[in-house]
Chains A and B, each alone.
Chain A
Amino acid sequence: MSTAHSPLTSTQALRLLVLRNYLVYRDSWKLFLTGFLEPVLYLFSIGLGVGQLIETFEFNGETIPYAEFVAPAMLAASAFNGALLDSTFNVFFKLKFIKLYDQILATPLTTGDVARAEIVWGQLRGGSYSAAFLLVMLALGLIDSWWAVLALPAALLIGFAFSAVCMALTTYMTSWQDFDKVTLVQVPLFLFSATFFPITAFDGWLRWVVECTPLYRGVVLCRELTTGALSWSSAVSVVYLVLMGLAGLYVVRRRLDALLLT
C-alpha cells in the first residue's frame, strides 16, 4: 500500500484553494489595483474637502481634526465593504452558477476547507488594501499613536467577522434579487456607524442600537488604535468581532454540508 492517497491536511488544502483563487484573480489586476482607491478617495473627499467646513471633534476625551476622525472609519468601512462583496456576490456565483464547490468536493477537500479558504483569500486581498491605506494615513500625518500598528490586525478581524457571517447568509440566497437585501443592510451600516460623524448625533435608544452593531464596533476599534485613545470597550469590540466570525464560520460549514453533501 502506498501513502499517495492520504487526504490533505487542512493547511495543504488551504494553500491549494488560495492558490486557485490567486490564479483566477491574476487576470483582473486592474480591479485589484483600483479597489485600493475607494477608501483613499473617500478620505480625500469627505475627510479633507468636507473637513474644511468642520472644526474638530471630541473623541474619548481628545480633540482631533475631522480628517483624523474619518480616516480610521474609512479603514474599517473598506474592510467591511470588501469582505461583504467578496463573500456575497463572488461566493453566490461560485456556489450557484459555476458550481465550483461541487467540483471541489468531488476531490478529497471538505466543506470546512472551502469556508476557510474563501475567508483567508478575502483577507489576503482586503489586508493588502488595509496596509496600503494605513501607509496613506501615515503619509498624511493622520496617525497619532504606535497603537496604530494594531489597526491592521483590527481591519483583518473586521473582514473575518463579516466574511464569515455574509458567507453564511449567502448560502440562504436563491436569486440575484436577494442582493437588494444586501445593499439594504450595507448602506445604512456604512453611513450610520459613526463613520462620518460622532455617535453623539444619536440620542437614547437609537444610540444604544448603533453601539450594538458590528461595524460600529469595528470603526471605534480602529479609531481608538490610530488615535491612541484605548479603553476597555476596545476589548469588548475585539471579543464581539471574534465571536461573530466564529459563529458565521460554524454556520457556513453546516450549511455547505447541508447544501452540497446531502
Chain B
Amino acid sequence: MADLALRDGLSRQVDYWWTVYRRTWRSSVVSSFLSPLLYVVAMGVLLGGFVDADPDTLEGAPSYLAFVVPGLVAAHAMQTAVGETTYPVMGLIKWQRVYDSMLATPLQVQHLVASTLGFVAFRLITTCGVYMLVLAPFGVFESWWGPFLAFGAQVLTGMVFAVWVYGFTARLHNEEAFGVLFRLGVFPLFLFSGAFFPVDNLGEVGAWAARITPLWHGVNLSRMFCLDHVTWWVAGVNVLVLVVLLVVGWAWALTGLRKRLVW
C-alpha cells in the first residue's frame, strides 16, 4: 500500500482539530489572554513605575515596561507550548487513545505529530498575536516592522519548546514527571531567562548560563526587534540556535511517538 502523502494526512485531521478547538477555546481565555495582561500591568506598569529607566542598564529600553513586555510574550509562548504538549498529548497517547484509533486508519505517525504540532503553532500564533495587538497602545514598540519580526521569533520560540516537550511526553509513562518539569524546567526559565531583568544582573557566570537556555534566545530576539535595537550578528545566532533546536526536536518527537505506538 502506498504511503499517504503528508499533505493528505494533515488535511484529513483538520476537522478533528477544529472540533477540539471549538470545544476548548473558552477555557484558554483566562490563561492565554487575561493572566499575561495582568502580568504586564503589575510588573510592567506598576512595578516599572519604581524602576529608574536608563537605556544603559535596560538593554536599550527607554522604560522598564518596554523592557519587560517583549520578554513576557516570549516566555508566555513557551508556557503555552508546554501546556499544549504535556497533558493534552498524554491524553491523545494514553488516556483517550485518540492516536491509537487514528493509526488504525491510513494515517501514520508523521501525520499525527505534524497535525498536533500544527495545532500548537495555531495556538501560538493566535495567543502571541492577540498579546502583541493588545500591547500596541502601551507605546512600547519602537518601529512598525519590529513587532512583526518579534512575533515570528515568539512563535518560533514556542515551537522549539513544543517539539522537545512533545518528544519528552511521547516517552513518558508516569505523568507525575510533568509537575517536576514545570517546577525545575519551565518555571526557572520563566524567571531567569532575561524576561524580567537583564541577564547581566546575574553576574558573569550566571549571565552565560542564562544565554545558553533556548528561552533567552527567544526573549533576546523579541526584545531587540520590539525596541529596534538590533545587533544583527547576535540575532543571526539566536535564529540559528532556535531553528537547529526546532529541526532536531522535531526528529526527537517523531522517533519518540514511533517507538511508543508502532515498534
Contact = CB atoms under 8 A, between A and B. Distances in A.
A50 B197 contact: yes
A37 B42 contact: no
Q: How large is the interface on A (under 10, 10 to 19, 20 to 34, 35 or more residues)?
A: 20 to 34
B43 interface: yes
Interface stretch (B5-13, B182-190, B229-237, B247-255): B182-190
Interface stretch (B30-38, B77-85, B91-99, B130-138): B30-38
B179 interface: yes
Interface string B11-37: 000000000000000110111001100
Given A38-B183, A196-B42, A46 B196 contact: yes
A221 B78 CA distance: 35
B39 interface: yes
Size category of the B interface is 20 to 34
Contacts of B180: 30-31, 34
B191 A41 contact: yes
B51 to A, nearest CB: 5
A196 B43 contact: yes
Contacts of B43: 191, 196
Nearest to A202: B46
Contacts of A197: 42, 46-47, 49-50
A27 B244 CA distance: 38
A55 B52 contact: yes
Given A34-B180, A45-B191, A54-B51, A177 B27 contact: yes
Nearest to B31: A183
A77 to B, nearest CB: 12
A1 to B, nearest CB: 48
A180 B27 contact: yes
A52 interface: yes
B3 interface: no
B179 A53 contact: no
Contacts, number: 94
B201 interface: yes
A188 B34 CA distance: 10
Contacts of A98: none
A50 B187 contact: no
Nearest to A30: B180
B202 interface: yes
A178 B50 CA distance: 36
Q: Is the interface of A mostly helix, strand, loop or mixed?
A: helix
B192 interface: yes
B35 A54 contact: no
Chain B interface mostly helix, strand, loop or mixed?
Answer: helix
A180 B26 CA distance: 10
Contact of B46 (A57, A183, A201): A201
A28 interface: yes
A31 B191 CA distance: 19
Nearest to A48: B201
Contact of A35 (B42, B183, B188): B183
B42 A191 contact: yes
Contacts of B187: 37-38, 41
B76 to A, nearest CB: 13
For A49, A55, A177, A180, the residue with the greatest tally of chain B CB atoms inside 10 Å of its CB is A49
Given A41-B191, A46-B196, A49-B196, A184 B179 contact: no
Nearest to B176: A28
Contacts of B31: 180, 183
A53 B30 contact: no
B201 A49 contact: yes
Given A42-B191, A184-B34, A37 B183 contact: yes
A106 interface: no
The 10 A-B residue pairs whose C-beta atoms are closest, nearest first, are: A45-B191, A191-B42, A49-B197, A34-B183, A201-B46, A197-B47, A180-B30, A53-B51, A50-B197, A52-B201
20 contacts: A31-B176, A34-B180, A34-B184, A38-B183, A38-B187, A42-B191, A44-B192, A49-B191, A53-B52, A180-B27, A180-B31, A183-B31, A183-B35, A188-B38, A191-B39, A191-B42, A196-B42, A196-B43, A197-B42, A198-B50
Given A37-B183, A49-B191, 19 more contacts: A28-B176, A28-B179, A31-B183, A34-B183, A35-B183, A45-B192, A45-B197, A48-B201, A49-B192, A49-B196, A49-B197, A50-B51, A50-B197, A191-B38, A196-B42, A196-B43, A197-B47, A198-B50, A201-B50
